[in-house]
Amino acid sequence: MSEYNIDFSKGLVPTIIQDYESGKVLMLAYMNEESFRRTMDTKKTWFYSRSRQKLWNKGESSGHFQHVKEVYIDCDRDTILIGVKQDGVACHTGAESCFYTKILG
């Protein structure tokens, strides 16, 4: 367990990013212990890229940074929820949220 009692024993922890004011889910990414620590230190989101096998700071290339306002962990301590103030859009496609494709309802 990390100093925040998050279970990083499997390496990566799913992390849900939501708009701090509206509650809208913006994206899902993965954090390891180092990216979580950087997020807490800088108050901007850092993730672990599974495809690039390295840390990345959301907004470093697009300028669409996520300013951390609140952080929660779930009851099992293996999922993180972060409320952010989003600069620009969250999705690399240019959409506000990565969740724009409805498949039911």
- The per-residue pLDDT for range 9-18, each reduced to its tens digit, is 999 999 999 9
**pLDDT tens profile 18-57:** 999 999 999 999 999 999 999 999 999 999 999 999 999 9
Annotated binding site for Mg(2+): 74, 76, 78
Annotated binding site for Zn(2+): 75, 91, 98
Annotated binding site: 74-76, 78, 91, 98
Ranges of each domain in the chain:
13-86
CA–CA separation, 83 and 26 (whole Å): 10
In the predicted structure, residue 2 carries a pLDDT above the cut 70: no
Architecture category of domain 13-86 in CATH? Roll (3.10)
Q: Cα angle at 64 between 45 and 4, to 5 degrees?
A: 10
Do β-strands 54-57 and 46-49 pair in parallel, antiparallel, or remain unpaired?
Answer: antiparallel
Q: Rounded to an integer, what is the distance from CA 63 to the centroid of its chain?
A: 16
How is residue 27 written in tokens? 């994206």
